[in-house]
Structure 1
Amino acid sequence: MAGDPVGFRKGHDGLAALVQGHLRQKPFDGSVYLFRAKRADRLKLIYWDVSGLVMAYKRLEDNSFRWPAIKNGVMRLEIAQFEALFAGLDWQRVRPLEVSGLSAAE
């Protein structure tokens, strides 16, 4: 995730250029790159799916996204945390279920 808000007029190519220039990553490596607007209720993401660059945009109607802390100019989320963020949930409250050790196969 990009740490700083970006202008939301940017399209596929503009966001890919940010990934390459600012984040120093490869926009066509299959990773999902997430960008936030100045208003915390909007996000865009891009990823390469082997046939083309995909861009998605989401705006929450009544709330704003809970953004993670920035470390070294980038935010990182695990898949479950990303899914919670994209769903508009407070990803910080997502916790793994605790499973007791099984003694034998059923």
Structure 2
Amino acid sequence: MIRPDTRLRVYLCREPVDMRKQIDGLALLVQEAMELNPFEEAVFVFGNHQRDKVKLLFWKRNGFVVWYKRLERERFKWPDRLEGDTVMLSGQELNWLLDGYDLSAMQPHKALDFQSVG
């Protein structure tokens, strides 16, 4: 699996985001709403209202990259104990979040083993 580098700065947008937004819309959110530079060496993390989808945006040398993950049964445990609209995480905390850990309780999602899509 492709994983973000644990040394990167990670900015988590606490407010839900419309997952129909693509690269330009997400980059504009970083610049305007989060008041950060979307071209810096960092990962910007966005989740939907139901917290079952997440998008990661980052600039890589000559273009933007978007990662998208959809959970089939569980929900991402968005940090709620912190203040502000933007939360800074470590790369390791981001990987834990993507694995389903509740960062405050350190409890992961159950592993699922499907055999078909339908």
Give TM class, smaller chain.
0.7 to 0.9
Q: What is the DSSP-based 3-state SS (H/G/I as helix, E as strand, rest coil) of the residue aligned with 1:5?
A: coil
Structure whose alpha-carbon radius of gyration is higher? 1
TM-score, normalized by length of structure 1? Answer: 0.82
CA distance in 1, matches of 2:20, 2:93: 26
One-letter code of the match for 2:18?
A: G
Q: CA deviation at 1:19?
A: 0.2
Counterpart mapping for 1:57-96 below 5 A: 57-69=68-80, 70-94=82-106
Larger RCO (CA under 8 A, 6+ residues apart): 2
Q: Point out 4+ residue stretches in structure 1 off by more than 3 angstroms.
A: none
**What is the aligned-residue RMSD (CA, Å)?**
1.3
Identity level (%): 35
> What is the aligned partner in structure 2 of residue 11 from structure 1?
22
> What is the aligned partner in structure 2 of residue 102 from structure 1?
none
| 1:42 equivalenced with 2:46 (yes/no) | no
CA distance in 2, matches of 1:59, 1:88: 11
Q: CA deviation at 1:14?
A: 0.3
Which string of whole-angstrom CA distances, capped at 9 and with x for unpartnered residues, describes residues 25-67 of structure 1? 0001021000010111111110001121000110111100111
> What is the aligned partner in structure 2 of residue 51 from structure 1?
62
**Runs of 5+ unmatched residues, structure 1:** 95-106
**Runs of 5+ unmatched residues, structure 2:** 1-11, 107-118
Give the number of the structure whose residues are more often strand, by fraction. Answer: 2
CA distance in 2, matches of 1:92, 1:3: 15
One-letter code of the match for 1:59?
A: R
Q: What is the DSSP-based 3-state SS (H/G/I as helix, E as strand, rest coil) of the residue aligned with 1:8?
A: coil
Aligned length: 94
Which string of whole-angstrom CA distances, capped at 9 and with x for unpartnered residues, describes residues 5-36 of structure 1? 01111000000000000000000102100001
